[in-house]
């Protein structure tokens, strides 16, 4: 497992997302412990996205790289409408266009 050598802490925001969205905490934990895939977060170098069990968990280096911090979680492979703060973000707009094109294909 990628994250086994370091502790993984859960940020308050991540706990709030799990509760607010009704996510299964056990499956979120499994996504971190046994992800199907791990990708880099392009917008935030150094952060990784652990995907599995239907969830994508974003992890950031924490405590001078000695730990990981799960900063947020969302449903994996689910495209949501752009938030107001994303409507002028070129990366978000490009991602939305790609998702729209894939859903039409």
Domains of the chain in sequence order: 7-78 (3.30.2310.20)
Give the lowest-confidence range in 3-7, 15-19, 54-58, 81-85. 3-7
Q: Express each pLDDT in 23-40 by its tens digit.
A: 999 999 999 999 999 999
- Taking CA atoms, 13 is separated from 2, 87, 100, in Å, by 23, 22, 28
pLDDT tens digit sequence for 87-99: 888 877 776 554 5
Q: Is 101 helix (H, G, I), strand (E, B) or coil?
A: helix
pTM of the model: 0.78
User: Rounded mean pLDDT of the chain?
Assistant: 84
CB-based burial of residue 104 (10 Å sphere; 0-12 exposed, 13-18 middle, 19+ buried)? exposed
The predicted structure's pLDDT at residue 28: 95
Chain centre distance of CA 46: 13
């Amino acid at each position: 497992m990628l994250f086994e050598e370091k502790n993984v802490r859960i940020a308050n925001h991540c706990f709030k997302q799990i509760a607010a969205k009704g996510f299964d905490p056990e499956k979120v934990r499994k996504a971190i412990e046994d992800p199907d895939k791990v990708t880099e977060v392009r917008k935030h170098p150094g952060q990784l996205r652990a995907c599995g069990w239907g969830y994508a968990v974003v992890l950031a280096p924490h405590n001078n790289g000695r730990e990981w911090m799960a900063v947020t979680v969302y449903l994996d492979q689910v495209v949501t409408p752009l938030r107001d703060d994303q409507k002028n973000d070129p990366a978000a707009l490009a991602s939305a266009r790609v998702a729209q094109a894939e859903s039409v294909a």
